[in-house]
Structure 1
Amino acid sequence: MLHELSDIQSKKIGLDTNIWQFCVVLPSAVIGSNCNICSHCLIENDVVIGDNVTIKSGVQIWDGVTIEDNVFIGPNVTFTNDLKPRSKVYPKSFLRIEIKKGASIGANATILPGITIGENSMIGAGSVVTKNVLPSTTVVGNPAREINK
């Protein structure tokens, strides 16, 4: 179901994906099958989202983000793609963010540019991720640090 109150410009959206009201999906974005994208989300052009992904409300996914299959993105997670942002000054290319299969990112976490979040890892709510997260690791805090399992 693609909600009529969303601006969905991409034609590359998989079967059984739901995009709820007040979302914007730009033309070159690729979204897999069986995804659930909740209200008030923005998905830019240079974005790839795999299958079975849940993106809760209030998430903006900027150019340079790849989200693999079976990932959970909590409400109001913030992705960034520019380490030195300035108004009307853009880098030649944006740093990439990769979220690997099965990862979960808790509400209000911030993911800095150039980060890879490993398979089946868990990012605690409110964490600020400043460096790569290894597979099957749980991190929390600001800056995010690994905790014992």
Structure 2
Amino acid sequence: MTQMGEDSRFPGVLIHESSYVDDPVAIGPGTRIWHFSHVLGQVTVGANCTVGQNVVIGPRVAIGNGCRIQNNVSIYEGVTLEDDVFCGPSCVFTNVVNPRSFVSRKAEFAPTLVKKGASIGANATIVCGRTIGRYAFIAAGAVVTKDVADFALMAGVPARRIGWMSKAGMRLSSDLVCPLDGSRYELVSAQELRAT
């Protein structure tokens, strides 16, 4: 029977015995790494994160505190997740725009930044070189080809903004008041929303 256990390199971290964590890696306390995952070298994972089954992270990736990475996600070099990011099952990050198996483009990896509190739905694709704004919500199956504004609700192929989301993850109606917690928002422009 396999089980979760602590690794002496990472106090307070639980790592399933079927997973691998290379050196050097920094992992914050309270983080759990589940079955068949691999954390490559030069990766930083914050505190209180959950790394699901069959996840690959790295090399040279930074993940903030409180992130949730669901099953079957690969987070490649060049991707940065700020605090409290949710990555749904099988979502995809690319690292080059125009890959060819017979052309090495490792020097062309484009950085991708997912800002605090953003959520990426199952099977969504984030094309490299993009920034996902704070508390943005990427719908399942969407393909993000452009930068995404804070609080934007994105859906489709290619992804387009179809609305706004509150920090609490609720779709905002025309009054821009969160139905869950009553927080208020205001439009700064047609493409920019901010909390009041």
Short-chain TM bin: over 0.9
Q: Output one character per residue of 1:64-99: Cα deviation in whole Å (capped at 9) or x when no partner.
A: 000000111000000001111111422223101000
Number of the residue aligned with 1:110: 125
The TM-score, its normalising length taken from structure 2, stands at 0.74
Higher relative contact order (CA 8 A, sep 6+): 1
Structure 1 residue corresponding to 2:71, chosen from 53, 57, 65? 57
Structure 2 residue corresponding to 1:23, chosen from 33, 37, 45? 37
SS in structure 1 opposite 2:62?
strand
Number of the residue aligned with 1:68: 82
The TM-score, its normalising length taken from structure 1, stands at 0.97
Distance in 1, Cα, partners of 2:128 & 2:65: 23
Partner letter of residue 87 of structure 2? I
In structure 1, runs of 5+ residues without a counterpart are: none
Q: Does 1:42 align with 2:87?
A: no
Higher strand share: 2
1:148 Cα offset (Å): 2.5
SS in structure 2 opposite 1:148?
strand
Q: Output one character per residue of 1:93-130: Cα deviation in whole Å (capped at 9) or x when no partner.
A: 31010000000000000000101000000000000000
Number of the residue aligned with 2:157: 142
1:7 Cα offset (Å): 0.9
Number of the residue aligned with 2:140: 125
1:17 Cα offset (Å): 0.4
**Which range moved further: 84-93 or 60-69?**
84-93
Task: Assess if the C-alpha contact under 8 Å between 2:46 and 2:65 holds in 1.
Answer: yes
Partner letter of residue 104 of structure 1? S
Q: Does 1:94 align with 2:127?
A: no
SS in structure 2 opposite 1:133?
coil
Q: Does 1:2 align with 2:9?
A: no
Distance in 2, Cα, partners of 1:94 & 1:104: 23
Q: Percent identity, please.
A: 45
Distance in 2, Cα, partners of 1:9 & 1:72: 23
Count of aligned pairs: 149
